[in-house]
Amino acid sequence: MSGDPLSALANPRRREILRLVWVEERSAGDIARTFDVSWPAISQNLRVLKASGLVRERRVGTSRMYRADRGALRPLEAYLRRMWSRDIDRLRLLAEAEEKKRSKS
């Protein structure tokens, strides 16, 4: 339990997840579908985010809903918003995906 928020934020995929659940909660599956990786990969990243206190989980039937914990994120909000408004992070994710494809071919 209880991970380091800055370590959680070090990963661009987790930052992108955080952006997805910033304004409204979403189910794990809903989140997973927006990425090009396996469900477990997303589930693991959600666990890290939860352990660091950056997202909250709510169980609804067989689903689990996630949302950003805006309170915990307030002192980091300035930075994240800048980053997102410049779309730096999505570019980084794309670049890394490209990089992977390239190294495999």
Partner DNA sequence: GACTTAATTAAGCAGCATCTTAAACTATCA
Partner DNA sequence: TGATAGTTTAAGATGCTGCTTAATTAAGTC
Residue type, 6: L
Report the alpha-carbon distance of residue 94 to residue 16 in Å, rounded: 12
Binding segment for DNA (CB under 7 A), chosen from 10-18, 67-75, 79-87, is 10-18
Report the alpha-carbon distance of residue 23 to residue 68 in Å, rounded: 8
Residue 63 binding DNA, by CB under 7 A: yes
Q: In Å, how far from its chain's centre is CA 49?
A: 7
Report the alpha-carbon distance of residue 34 to residue 53 in Å, rounded: 23
Residue 1 binding a copy of itself, by CB under 8 A: no
C-beta closer to DNA: residue 29 or 70? 29
Q: Which does 34 bind (CB under 5 to 8 A by kind): a copy of itself, DNA, none?
A: none
Residue 97 binding DNA, by CB under 7 A: no
Residue 39 binding a copy of itself, by CB under 8 A: no
